[in-house]
Amino acid sequence: MTISALGIGLTGLQANGKALGVAAHNTANMNTDHFVPQSASFNEARPAGTGVTLSIAARDLSATENVGGAPSGTDPAASIVNSLVYKAGFELSAKLIQAADERLGTLIDIRA
């Protein structure tokens, strides 16, 4: 169980790290004309319970959906909120790895 928790925590770190990259990319290109922002979508890895994957897709935006006043249609408020959510997910995954590592160390000490 501890080993699988390490794997789940690792995939959580990777997915949230990539999602932070997407949010940063969207924010950096916010004032770029005709830039199509990407959105991050988390999915459970297969087989179930083995982690999480991240799907990145560009959103279809028309000129009438120019949200937030940015030329690209990127919404600055949503981008900031997403970054905070991804950061919290990253920190949670790191704590999961830390807890699993502590449990694994305890198990090794018991066996020794």
57-92 pLDDT per residue, tens: 665 544 445 555 556 667 788 888 889 999 999 999
Please report the pLDDT score of residue 61 as a whole number.
45
For the chain, give the mean pLDDT: 77
Is the pLDDT reported for residue 111 higher than 50?
Answer: yes
Range of the domain at 18: 1-60+83-111
Nearest 5°: the CA angle 20, 22, 24 is: 70
- Residue 93 counted as domain residue: yes
39 phi/psi in degrees, rounded to 5: -130, 145
d(CA 17, CA 103): 25
| Total-model pTM | 0.70
How many separate domains does the chain show?
1
**Contact of 12 with 96, CB cutoff 8 Å:** yes
What is the percent of the chain where pLDDT is above 90? Answer: 13
